[in-house]
Amino acid sequence: MAVTRWAARAGALAGATLLGACTTLGPDFKRPEVTWLDTWTGGSLESLSAAKGVRSSEKTLDWWRRFNDPVLDRLVDQALRANPNVRTAGLRIMEARAQLGIAGSSLYPQVKQATGEVLWAGEHRERGSDTSAVAVNAGLRASWELDFWGKFQRSIEAADAGYWASIALYDDVQVLMASQVAGLYISIRTIKVRLRIAAENAALQKRNLDISERLFASGYDSELDVQQAKAQYLATLATIPALEIGVRQAQNALSTLLARPPGPLPEMATGKDSIPQAELDVIVDMPADLMRRRPDVRAAEMQLAAQSALIGVSTADLYPSISLLGSIGLSATSLSSSARSLTWGIGPSLVWNVFDQGRLTNTVLLQDARFQQLYEQYQDAVLRAAREVDDAAVSFARTGEQIILLAESVKAAQRSLDIATLQYQEGLTDFQRVLDSQRSLFLQQDSLVSTQGGLMQSLVAIYKAMGGGWEQGRSRPVIDDATRDTMERRSDWKGILAEPLPPPDASPPSSATARP
């Protein structure tokens, strides 16, 4: 008895020591440093905001509403709900949640097998009675690998980081979608204004052509004036089909974003065609946080965190796996002479791939190389984010300066046309001066409208570069009701589809607190 008691104590002590020695292998993830980012003050965006005295407490939430265009607001809201890319990104969140559930299940017994059989058997003898019996066999086997080296914990960390990366990518798709809808909407409005200007100038040039033809028929003008007026009129008409092509192609692109068949949008059929206008309204007090808050940068960071955890998973494979095995079985028949038996067994198991170290070691190196690649991609993502901010800001600033000059140029061209027309009527100049003035006015007007549209496109690019417009998406259902009902009828999602997203200010857990 004493020996048995001491053996039990020794086994308990050994088990406690074994469990106490558990550790988590692999690197703990830390946000990568970007050496230049902490001293970066926003570049052209900072200068632009300082020059305009811009400060905003609203940041970039729903920035498209600053254009005060209800049609644009409705189109953006529809695209954020109906666009297939947005819906696909939402379904990837569901995939990541399921993957996280798979990783969390590794903390429980991994191999569970239940067996059972019921057999009816009989025997026939020539000189005896027939006999029959029912035999029953049932058993249960289980294996539970202890997370001795933190392999399962690292797997959960990787899945959790992948889950947060899927959310960041969902946010990024919404940023892209809002900017694309706004950009195409502005393009359509801009081209339609250019069409109106082209039509107005064509009408003016047609009147001049009619006048020159009457004068030529009366012998007061030469055929040269008629042909020059006709050439200018036809050249202006020739610009209209190209503009109409641009409108239709932009409409088709916008319809696709809205998950509609190609064609004009009824929402834009009414109302005056004008370019939406908005002022710069941003905050650039903390450009470093601004860059790290961009969804694409957050996604790159979470992908890096997931890969860091996979290094730990591969490192744990270098060491032995320790499992607890257990089984229980029952066997019985209906024969009165047979005995029923109950068998059971429990004990530890150790498996160590000592002859496969070459493959396992190089797997660790493979995961580490992938981590370093993602690290460089993260650095590149931050650099590209800063570049996009600076490019958009300098474009907005310089385009605004260009508009001031073009506006003055249009005034001068209009005045030049008035003077040339008056002098021609008084016989002080030839008809060519009038044609030249008309051509100059049309070109300057068209250039001004195109540049005004470009200014608003630059403003959209600023908000896109700052990664704004995704926050409200966190409060909307990721999956619409019809899709959720279809998926729940097909598979048992157990409420995963209806689980809301974390709020915008939520932070992913660190590697030390990754949730199971």
Contacts of 85 (CB under 8 A, 6+ apart): 173, 177
Number of domains into which the chain is organized: 1
Cβ within 8 Å of residue 243, ≥6 positions away? 191, 194, 195, 198
Residue 228: CATH number of its domain: 1.20.1600.10
Query: Looking at the domain assignment, is residue 432 inside a domain?
Result: yes
Is 204 within the bounds of a domain?
A: yes
On whether residue 12 sits in a domain, the answer given is no
In the chain, the percentage of residues whose pLDDT exceeds 70 is: 85
**Torsion sign (Cα): 75, 80, 81, 83:** positive
Specify if 413 maps to a domain. yes
Report in angstroms the alpha-carbon separations of 193 from 183, 188, 272, 458.
15, 9, 10, 18
Q: What is the pLDDT of residue 507?
A: 83
Does residue 7 fall inside a structural domain? no
Give the range of the structural domain holding residue 464, as residue numbers without chain letter.
21-127+147-320+358-513
Query: Within a domain: residue 285?
Result: yes
Per-residue pLDDT tens digits for 378-398: 999 999 999 999 999 999 999
Q: Is residue 270 part of a domain?
A: yes
Picking from 46-55, 141-150, 397-406, which range would have the lowest pLDDT averaged per residue? 46-55
> pLDDT tens for residues 417-453?
999 989 888 888 888 899 999 999 999 999 999 999 9
340 within domain boundaries: no
What is the rounded average pLDDT for all residues in the chain? 85
Q: Give the chain's count of helices (H) and strands (E).
A: 11, 4
Nearest-CA neighbor of 463 among 376, 511, 393, 407?
A: 393
Q: Give pLDDT tens digits for 285-329.
A: 567 888 888 999 999 999 999 999 999 999 988 888 888 887 887
For 95, the token pair is 């995939």
Per the CB < 8 A criterion, the answer to whether 346 and 403 are in contact is no
Name the token pair of 378. 């993260």
Amino acid at 115: T
Paired tokens of 30:
């830390």
